[in-house]
Structure 1
Amino acid sequence: MEKFRCRWCEYDADLIHYHDKIWGTKRETDDELFEALTFEIFQAGLKWATVYRKRDGFKQAFANFTIKHVAQFDDAKKKKLKEDASIIRHTAKIAATVYNAQQLLTIQKQYGSFKNFLDVVPPENRIEQLCAYFKQVGKTTAESFLIACGYLPTQHEKRCYLYIKSEEEKI
């Protein structure tokens, strides 16, 4: 029997994999959370497929999203990234990614980890806190990040097999 999925991923094997296996699942490490946050930031104003297809370029450009390395990127490195065709070359988003890595180091010192921070902050305050700590993170981006990382329920279309599965689990 054919599985019906959300329309945004139907015709792309990579997006199907993301939809079925990654979207809405908890990330294990701070670097994985940083990666998810960065992708949500770069996705703003673009189609998800545009960003996701460049994920290998992003991983290489941003030191596999190793927070301590990205936090040390200087102006010369940021300038080089603006010329890198393997990523989305948005000056403010590149600068925000470096700034956000620096903020994550502060959060790690204060809370032990970014994951602990997300777990400790009351759910009703998470969006506000993410907006306060990070650049290029507004309410929509914060909410998308929390959904992508399993802190808020995913928003599958009603025809999607995962929507049906989640509704059955509520019963």
Structure 2
Amino acid sequence: MEKFQDIYQRAAQRKGGEAMLQQLLVAPKTAIQLRTLPDDVWLEEFTRKVFQSGFYWSVINNKWAGFRDVFWDFSVEKLLMMPPDMLEQKASDERIVRNFKKVQTIPHNAYMIHDVATEHGSFSQFIADWPTDDIIGLWGYLKKHGARLGGNTGPYALRALGKDTFLLSRDVESYLRAHKIIDGGLQTKKSLAAAQAFFNELQQQSGLSLQELSLILAYSVGDNRVGIQTTQA
């Protein structure tokens, strides 16, 4: 397995030096910062990522003001009281992307957030307290208990709101396969555990967050693009 310093130096060289690489790195939120997030923002981001899957992200983002209007700013409390027939009406509203199956994820994920908050004080508390050395466990929780939050959807939502996580982007996957850290299916238990163990080892060597390590790894391979969105590495 490559040492962190070798990966870091290659990424720095490809990005024009260590100073340029450092400018591309973004640290995750602290646990204290995460705990201050209202639970409604998690429902909003889960919904955004569910709808972005399979669509151009710009299309969804351009309609997002409409989504917020239609779904009461993603108020978990209000959505839990919504009668089922009203959901069908909202799914046909021209202000949103009209995909009923994806719209159905909104109340489902609202119930998940509510149930977790009832047990843990808040959903944000639950997310903040989850250990990053088992971040794939949190991915698995979202996949099992949420709606359409498997694959990269849940992890991308976590990254967007600041929870420390690596991402299995194309560049990261390519590196893991080229160095025989994973083989077979990307989302198998074996592959996910191997990826987690690899990032845990890099974290021990570097003291950096999983997010920063994921970015560095992605910048060390693949197409050499500067200034790409950090949520995609």
Using the size of structure 2 for normalisation, the TM-score is 0.55
Q: Residue 146 of structure 1 aligns to which amino acid in structure 2?
A: L
User: Hey, what's the Cα distance between the residues in 2 that align with 1:140 and 1:161?
Assistant: 18
| Deviations 1:78-101 (CA, angstroms, capped at 9, x unpaired) | 111121011111111111111111
Question: 2:88 matched to 1:79?
Answer: yes
Structure 1 residues 160-171: aligned runs within 5 Å: 160=227
| Deviations 1:100-147 (CA, angstroms, capped at 9, x unpaired) | 111211111011111111122223211111111101111210111111
Which residue is 1:39 aligned to?
48
Secondary structure, in 3 states, of the residue corresponding to 1:45? coil
| Deviations 1:35-86 (CA, angstroms, capped at 9, x unpaired) | 1111011111111111111111110111111111112222221111121011
Secondary structure, in 3 states, of the residue corresponding to 2:140? helix
Q: Residue 99 of structure 1 aligns to which amino acid in structure 2?
A: H
Which residue is 2:143 aligned to?
131
Which residue is 1:99 aligned to?
108
User: Hey, what's the Cα distance between the residues in 1 that align with 2:105 and 2:228?
Assistant: 36
Structure 2 gap ranges (5+)? 1-27, 166-210, 220-224
Following TM superposition, by how much is the alpha carbon of 1:161 offset from its aligned partner in structure 2, in angstroms? 8.4
Question: 2:65 matched to 1:56?
Answer: yes
Which residue is 2:159 aligned to?
147
Number of residue pairs matched by the alignment = 140
Q: Residue 91 of structure 1 aligns to which amino acid in structure 2?
A: F
Secondary structure, in 3 states, of the residue corresponding to 1:139? coil
User: Hey, what's the Cα distance between the residues in 2 that align with 1:126 and 1:102?
Assistant: 17
Which residue is 2:74 aligned to?
65
Question: 2:123 matched to 1:114?
Answer: yes
Q: Residue 226 of structure 2 aligns to which amino acid in structure 1?
A: R
Q: Sequence identity, in percent?
A: 21
Q: Over aligned residues, Cα RMSD in angstroms?
A: 2.2
Secondary structure, in 3 states, of the residue corresponding to 1:108? helix
Aligned in 2, Cα 1:131/1:161: closer, same or farther, shift over 3 Å?
Answer: closer
User: Hey, what's the Cα distance between the residues in 2 that align with 1:80 and 1:30?
Assistant: 25
Which residue is 2:201 aligned to?
none
Rg larger for: 2
User: Hey, what's the Cα distance between the residues in 2 that align with 1:162 and 1:133?
Assistant: 29
User: Hey, what's the Cα distance between the residues in 1 that align with 2:49 and 2:146?
Assistant: 12
Aligned in 2, Cα 1:90/1:162: closer, same or farther, shift over 3 Å?
Answer: closer
Which residue is 2:222 aligned to?
none
User: Hey, what's the Cα distance between the residues in 2 that align with 1:74 and 1:81?
Assistant: 11
Using the size of structure 1 for normalisation, the TM-score is 0.73
Question: 2:226 matched to 1:159?
Answer: yes
